[in-house]
Amino acid sequence: MTKSLITGGAGFVGSHLADRLLAQGDDVAVIDNFSSGSRENLDSNVRLYENDIRDPQIEAIFAKEKPDFVFHLAAQIDVRRSVENPTEDADINLLGTFNILDCAVRNGVKKVIFASTGGAIYGDTDIFPTKEGTYEQPLSPYGIHKLAAEKSLYFYKKVKGLDYTVLRMSNIYGPRQSTKGEAGVIAIFIDKMLKGEQPFINGDGKQTRDYVFVEDVTRAFILAKSTTGSDKFNIGTGVETSVNETFEKIVDNIGFDLPKMYKDAKPGEQKRSCLDASRAKSELGWKPECDIDRGIRETVQWFKDKK
Ligand SMILES: NC(=O)c1ccc[n+]([C@@H]2O[C@H](COP(=O)([O-])OP(=O)(O)OC[C@H]3O[C@@H](n4cnc5c(N)ncnc54)[C@H](O)[C@@H]3O)[C@@H](O)[C@H]2O)c1
């Protein structure tokens, strides 16, 4: 039986990944400090360690679990918070990653699969859809530290022999996404509309994002587990959807007649984001299967059922 360890496994993406690994017969352990994750997300068959990835006790968890694969998803994910507090972001997203990688090397882990970001790493680019070879110009400490973590994986591979795959994901959405913070505009809009509240659009709403459904993302993690060689892959749909269009799709789905209302643009917000995932298609055999209309339908249904 394959042993998988997920950091951040009580979060939005990590908990879906845990379900998928359990469904294919893996033994699954999770490390999470519940800073944004939730116990409700966790299947009872997961072994839970309530720890911070920066804790020295992580070593003992690795020694006990001896995982074959580590999926490293635990992170501070709020871009604006990283701008306000770059050292906190570096502490969690970079130093925390070093702690995980050191433990992985010392405990014979076969491979680390790292949750990176397509949007924030490419940052200030004007090449769309963006390919992996595009020069990275992150505009936030979050993007800088994710890129530095990727470079660290390269170093651990070359110098310490630890295999890895990096998934540079676009904007993920779907059931269980938190409505707090800033990451999930789809979750925030659905939640507000179902509560009868007016969601506000930041700026003119013409900014675009590449929305990828969580089910497609977890399939990419599973494929990354069995691929050989160490590389990085964009995981996105290549389709740009503006915030205005996203708002309209959700309104149509919920069946409300709600006007769009706008607030000031957030300073430094990226105008466009869209990933070219052709490398993932040719080398991992991955392509997105869920279009945004079905994805929004399923997400709305989940929020309705949760109420
Ligand atoms: N959601 C997106 O659109 C998106 C896009 C690209 C990349 N990512 C990356 O995917 C990963 C998962 O994102 P998500 O949307 O599921 O976020 P999330 O906040 O739902 O999940 C992160 C999990 O990590 C845990 N965590 C945070 N800091 C920790 C720490 N110091 N020690 C232990 N656990 C800690 C949280 O409690 C949470 O359960 C993150 O690495 C994120 O950067 C997300």
Q: Is the minimum distance from the CB of 117 to ligand 1 under 6 angstroms? A: yes
Confidence at 182, pLDDT banded by 50, 70, 90: low
Is the pLDDT at 230 greater than 90? The verdict is no
Per the CB < 8 A criterion, the answer to whether 198 and 212 are in contact is: no
The pLDDT of residue 221 is: 98
Q: Is the minimum distance from the CB of 172 to ligand 1 under 6 angstroms? A: yes
**Residue 142 a catalytic site member:** yes
Residue nearest to atom 7 of ligand 1 (CA): 117
Over residues 182-196, the mean pLDDT reads 91
Residue range 84-111, pLDDT digits in tens = 999 999 999 999 999 999 999 999 999 9
Is the pLDDT at 118 greater than 90? The verdict is yes
Expressed in angstroms and rounded, the spacing between residue 151 Cα and the centre of ligand 1 is 19
Quote the CA–CA distance of 21 and 51 in Å, as a whole number. Answer: 21
Expressed in angstroms and rounded, the spacing between residue 296 Cα and the centre of ligand 1 is 21
Quote the CA–CA distance of 86 and 139 in Å, as a whole number. Answer: 12
Return the minimum-mean-pLDDT range out of 93-107, 256-270, 284-298. 256-270
Please give the domain boundaries of the chain with CATH numbers for all domains.
3-170+213-236+276-283 (3.40.50.720), 173-208+240-274+292-306 (3.90.25.10)
Q: Is the minimum distance from the CB of 296 to ligand 1 under 6 angstroms? A: no
Contacts of 61 (CB under 8 A, 6+ apart): 5, 29, 31, 49, 51, 103
The pLDDT of residue 183 is: 65
Largest distance between two CA atoms of the chain: 58
Is the pLDDT at 55 greater than 80? The verdict is yes
